Amino acid sequence: MRSLIYKFFLIILVFMSSLGVSQAQHEEHHETKGEQKKFNVGDMIMHHIKDDHGWEFAHGVTLPLPVILYSEDRGLEVFSSAKLAHGAVYNDYKLEHGKIHRLTAGGQEDHSVHVYNFSITKNVASLLLSAVILIVVFFSVRNGYEQNKGKAPSGIQSFLEPIILFVRDEIAKPNLGPKYERYLPYLLTLFFFILVNNLLGLLPGAANLTGNITVTMVLAVITALITNFSGNKHYWGHIVKPTGVPFLLLPVIVPVEIVGIIVKPISLMIRLFANITAGHIIILSLLGLIFIAQNLGGTGTGWGVSLIVAPFTVFMNLIELLVAFLQSFIFTLLSAMYIGSAVEEHHHGGGSGLEAGLEQHH
């Protein structure tokens, strides 16, 4: 087993070193022809973490995705993103900085026409892929439960069952109490959706879905909607007229409570987005050192730096594996806490939550 682990790390080191030097050689080759600017690590990082209309798995290996546009004068138009690659103009459309514009006869952007873009981008394709993975995996788990009734779990069921029980026993039950069953399907979906996309984002050439603030915003908004629509009279009463607060302080406390409704989903959104994006930027920055060294000192320097940088990159990938699980847990846990605070029953006793807990204990 130990020898297999050593071989695994050796393969990763060789692969990443070769990747770095080959990329640097690629940049140098085009630079001599005058076809491409000198390597820019910032552009490389942004190219890998932002969304795109084509899915680039490696240099020269790109999967074109469908471009779906709608405008009032032309109606619905569908074509391959390959027709807009490398700044090409197709049917008066041009892709610039990730956005598709209609051009005039003079080649300028036509501001008189509004084009609605419903294209399948890399992030959308990754979202659909993760949905298919989740459906296939959990249908397999369901079939396993049906076939192994009264028996020990086997296969993928035995791998996922401890995680499902962990979400139920360590997240849902402690924070939601007796009403946990109502919200458990959402919490499980949230946890595994974030986890699968975090792990997919660590693969070479993968999309940075959970590092897209729009995706994290939607997840946070769903949690906020469930929280506020599930809130009982005690939850809303605490926000509109907190008990035990002097009347003169209500104009200060009530706006603070209302702002808290908005701040909670914002914190969820930013936390997941920032942690996932930061990890990707660090890994790409380390790889960028190989290209910078090659540009400054030649191929030999690139090889030498790659042998130093690669172990650190492998270590960061292992850290990111931990972060993938940790961020899934934190997002789900905070969602359960917010929902639990909205549905918990009022403690009778007139004291604080700590006093009420002590009363129940005694």
CA dihedral 106, 110, 112, 117 (to 10 degrees): 150
Tokens of 158: 């035995």
Q: Distances in Å between the alpha carbon of 223 and those of 10, 197, 218, 359?
A: 43, 18, 9, 32
Count other C-beta atoms under 10 Å from residue 306's C-beta.
Answer: 25
Q: How far apart are CA 320 and CA 277, in angstroms?
A: 11
3-state percent breakdown (helix, strand, coil) of the chain, nearest 5: 70, 10, 20
The pLDDT assigned to 2 comes to: 52
| Radius of gyration in angstroms for the set of CA atoms belonging to the chain, rounded to a whole number | 26
HEC string for 56-91: EEECCEEEECEEEEEECCCEEEEEEHHHHHHHCEEC
Residue type, 76: L
Full pLDDT tens readout for the chain, 362 residues: 455 444 444 444 444 444 444 444 444 444 444 444 567 777 778 878 888 888 888 777 888 999 999 988 889 999 998 888 888 888 888 888 888 888 888 888 888 888 899 999 999 999 999 999 999 999 988 888 888 777 777 778 888 989 999 999 999 999 998 889 999 999 999 999 999 999 999 888 888 899 999 999 999 999 999 999 998 888 888 788 777 777 777 788 888 888 889 999 999 999 999 999 998 898 888 888 888 888 787 778 778 888 888 888 888 889 999 999 999 999 999 999 999 989 887 655 444 343 334 333 33
Contacts of 219 by beta carbon, 8 Å cutoff, 6+ apart = 190, 193, 194, 268, 269, 272, 331
Q: Element (H or E) spanning 100, and its range? A: strand 99-102
The pLDDT assigned to 3 comes to: 53
Q: Distances in Å between the alpha carbon of 217 and those of 34, 182, 242?
A: 42, 23, 29
The pLDDT assigned to 347 comes to: 57
The pLDDT assigned to 37 comes to: 56
The pLDDT assigned to 143 comes to: 86
User: Across the chain, which distance is largest between two alpha carbons, in Å?
Assistant: 82
The pLDDT assigned to 287 comes to: 84
